[in-house]
Amino acid sequence: MSLYDFYNLDNLRNRSAEIVYGRIERFLEQHEDFCHCEQCVLDLLAYVLNHVTPMYGTSLLDPLSPNPDREKKIDVEIDLALKAGSKRVAAHPNHDS
Ligand SMILES: [Zn+2]
């Protein structure tokens, strides 16, 4: 059986990822020198998401109640990962030009 066939997995949300998406949007707006192509942006997203503690919740039962301490920790993790990840992707882009 496939979980996808029986359950709506869209109701399983990673709050950390949602925060990361917003932060990367702002990062791209503020760093025009960083390559905006899909490959580099997805590489940056993957790097940051791999370095940030996930915060999963179900939007049906648990509306992801805000937890300031946890979100502050996530913010610090994102800051560090964004700095390191953007440097790494810029230095070693997965494309030739
Ligand atoms: Zn690129």
**What does the domain layout of the chain look like in residue ranges?**
3-91
pLDDT confidence of residue 62: 58
How do residues 35-53 score in pLDDT, each as one tens digit?
999 999 999 999 999 999 9
pLDDT confidence of residue 57: 85
Most confident stretch, 6-20, 22-36, 46-60: 22-36
Q: How far is the CA of 2 from the centre of ligand 1 (A)?
A: 35
Most confident stretch, 1-15, 22-36, 49-63: 22-36
Q: How far is the CA of 96 from the centre of ligand 1 (A)?
A: 9
- Within 8 A by CB and 6+ apart from 2, the residues are none
Q: How far is the CA of 92 from the centre of ligand 1 (A)?
A: 10
pLDDT-derived band at 68, boundaries 50, 70, 90:
confident
> Is residue 81's pLDDT more than 90?
yes
